[in-house]
A and B are shown apart, each in its own frame.
Chain A
Amino acid sequence: MTLTAIDKQLLASVADLHEIPIGAYNIRKDGEGVARQSTANIQILPKTDPNQPGIDIIVKPGTKNESVHIPVIITRTGMHDLVYNTFDIGENADVLVVAGCGIHNAGCDSSQHDGIHEILVRRGARLRYVEKHYGEGPGEGQRILNPQTILKIEEGAVAELELVQIKGVDSTRRITRAEIHDRGSLRMVEKLLTHGQQTAESVMEIFLIGKGANAQIIARSVAQDNSRQDFRASLIGQNYCRGHVECDSIIMDQAKIAASPQLRAEHIEAELTHEAAIGKIAGDQLIKLMTLGLTEKEAIDTILNGFLS
């Protein structure tokens, strides 16, 4: 496999990859798998159904401290890539999955990647899942990313998701749906920065089905220029469970943000809470950093980097 300089930059941005990764990986470029490696414990298999292109990632029960990298890069303008990936994390496994998509669009047509991820975290397993989205390129063409993540967290399993979109994605519509069973736990952190004319929409539906299920959803976002964000997160408590959703946004320039955390309790022992806050950068914060020698722009960058770190 040969990677161009653009490929390498995209891979570094979305998966912190500078070389071919250690462990299992699958690199998809412009709609095709260009490199793939399974390991003794982690199998990556292409799907056989031609109507559902993508891969199955199967982690053997009890696999510990292994990682899977499955970055997607798009460098062709006008490309519309649709992929279905299915993860099966075996019982009592403990693994890290690094997904993510980088688009370099140098042309006038839209480049789009719609990733549909179904993730099953089996009993007692632990999954850390990191997904970064990034767009770049001098073209006028839109860079569009519409990820869907559908999670099932079995008994006593733990999933920690970190979803990040910091730069260059013109339009995103993100759907996350999770079912959490007995004593299962989900912690999800979503970080988003939009600028220019970008739009971002994130819809989450988290079902706390099992006894002792636990969910913590944290969304932090920054909206700059004329960008728009719409964040809707629902927690549905159907058993003795605990859930908390928090949306915290910094608004700048002429941006518009809507944040709607929603709670739905369908069980007397469901304990659900939410917090939402939208505000601009406080003058005192800027002044404080300026008294320490930063310029106003450096102070803004420091505040935003911290907020989204």
Chain B
Amino acid sequence: MLELRSVSLTLGNGNGGSKEVLSQIDLTLEEGKFYAVTGPNGGGKTSLAKVIMGIYQPTAGRIYYKGEDITDLSITERSRRGITYAFQQPPRFKGVRVRDLLSIAANNSLNEKDYHCLLHDVGLCPEDYLNREIDSSLSGGEMKRIEIASLLARPAEVFIFDEPEAGVDLWTLRQLVMMIIERHHQRHITTVTITHNERFLSVADEVLLLAEGQIKERGKRDKVWPLIKDDIACQWRQRCGGEASDPDCYR
């Protein structure tokens, strides 16, 4: 379905220097499978997603989709061939309504009922949100859910979600995770989810552990989880201030 051959990516680090964020990645993603990409921050997860989507051009290596070399294709061309990507931090658009974004995503093929279902599925009341502008009046969690809805509206075959769970409140997290998994099974699509969420890791056909720009390990959740468990818990504590009395992290 999708194949990366010796893909490397070097990015500027902002101080005039550069860093290799992906190093000689060889990876084949099979049709209909659910992949979870996990690993420490700065390990190259988002870069991998962006290289597949065409947002970053690899410094070396080639990418093939359904046998076609897509390395030199633009984001638009890749999207039109069936690849799509949900941002970790979706951008806001003044004056563009939720309805407009969903319509673009679906190539203008939605009827009123479709809009309602899409928003309902991500836990947003359609009446309240359909005509809202995607501007700073929306919270991070709302943005995230609209982002996921926009992807679900898309008639794509490869869906890449970049930490869909981040910024979503605990109450709806479970519903959102289940929905992404359900859609995967219903539509026989290929799903790549960058995640630290244990539920995603559990249902994934394959978990890829990405660190230092390389795939360090791959396999079922039980094989990879022990390697990352402490690392993830530790980072979470750092972010929340590390209170010893905190309840267990939701991940």
| Chain B interface residue number, banded | 20 to 34
Residues of B within 8 A of A289 (CB): 104
Which positions in A face B, CB cutoff 8 Å?
220, 248, 282, 284-285, 287-296, 302-303, 305-309
Residues of A within 8 A of B150 (CB): 292
Most buried by B among A284, A291, A302: A291
B93 touching A293 by the CB < 8 A rule? Answer: no
A287 touching B55 by the CB < 8 A rule? Answer: yes
Closest to B94 in A: A307
Residue B84 contacts which of A292, A303, A305 (CB distance < 8 angstroms)? Answer: A292
B203 contacts partner chain A, Cβ-Cβ < 8 Å:
no
B23 contacts partner chain A, Cβ-Cβ < 8 Å:
no
Closest 3 CB pairs of A and B: A306-B96, A306-B95, A284-B91
Binds A, one of B28-36, B40-48, B74-82: B74-82
What are 16 A-B pairs with beta-carbon distances under 8 A?
A282-B91, A287-B75, A290-B75, A291-B53, A291-B75, A292-B79, A292-B105, A294-B76, A294-B104, A296-B76, A302-B96, A302-B104, A306-B100, A306-B133, A307-B93, A307-B94
Residues of B within 8 A of A292 (CB): 79, 84, 101, 104-105, 150, 154
A87 to B80, CA, bound (A): 53
B87 contacts partner chain A, Cβ-Cβ < 8 Å:
yes
B59 contacts partner chain A, Cβ-Cβ < 8 Å:
no
A291 touching B94 by the CB < 8 A rule? Answer: no
B95 touching A291 by the CB < 8 A rule? Answer: no
B242 contacts partner chain A, Cβ-Cβ < 8 Å:
no
Mark out the residues of chain B between 167 and 190 whose CB falls within 8 Å of any chain A CB in the assembled complex: none
Residues of A within 8 A of B93 (CB): 285, 303, 306-307
B100 touching A291 by the CB < 8 A rule? Answer: no
Mark out the residues of chain B between 86 and 102 whose CB falls within 8 Å of any chain A CB in the assembled complex: 87, 90-91, 93-97, 100-101
Shortest Cβ distance from residue B47 to the other chain A in the assembled complex, whole angstroms: 14
B85 contacts partner chain A, Cβ-Cβ < 8 Å:
yes
Closest to B87 in A: A288
Which positions in B face A, CB cutoff 8 Å?
53, 55, 74-76, 79-80, 84-85, 87, 90-91, 93-97, 100-101, 104-105, 107, 133, 150, 154
A62 to B90, CA, bound (A): 49
Q: Known: A290-B75, A292-B79, A294-B76. Contact between A307 and B104, CB under 8 A?
A: no
B75 touching A302 by the CB < 8 A rule? Answer: no
Most buried by A among B55, B87, B93: B93
A248 touching B94 by the CB < 8 A rule? Answer: yes
B96 touching A303 by the CB < 8 A rule? Answer: yes
Most buried by B among A292, A295, A306: A292
Residue B100 contacts which of A248, A295, A296, A302 (CB distance < 8 angstroms)? Answer: A302
Shortest Cβ distance from residue A278 to the other chain B in the assembled complex, whole angstroms: 13
A309 to B94, CA, bound (A): 9
A309 to B126, CA, bound (A): 21
Shortest Cβ distance from residue B114 to the other chain A in the assembled complex, whole angstroms: 15
B79 touching A285 by the CB < 8 A rule? Answer: no
Shortest Cβ distance from residue B236 to the other chain A in the assembled complex, whole angstroms: 26
A285 to B91, CA, bound (A): 6
Most buried by B among A287, A288, A302, A309: A288
Residues of B within 8 A of A290 (CB): 74-76, 79
Known: A291-B85, A306-B96, A306-B133. 7 other contacts (CB 8 A): A220-B95, A287-B75, A291-B79, A292-B104, A296-B76, A307-B94, A307-B96
Q: Known: A290-B74, A292-B84, A292-B150. Contact between A306 and B94, CB under 8 A?
A: yes
B87 touching A284 by the CB < 8 A rule? Answer: yes
Residues of A within 8 A of B84 (CB): 291-292
A291 to B78, CA, bound (A): 8
Closest to B75 in A: A290
A285 to B89, CA, bound (A): 11
Residues of A within 8 A of B154 (CB): 292-293
Residues of A within 8 A of B91 (CB): 282, 284-285, 288
Shortest Cβ distance from residue B57 to the other chain A in the assembled complex, whole angstroms: 13
Shortest Cβ distance from residue A286 to the other chain B in the assembled complex, whole angstroms: 9
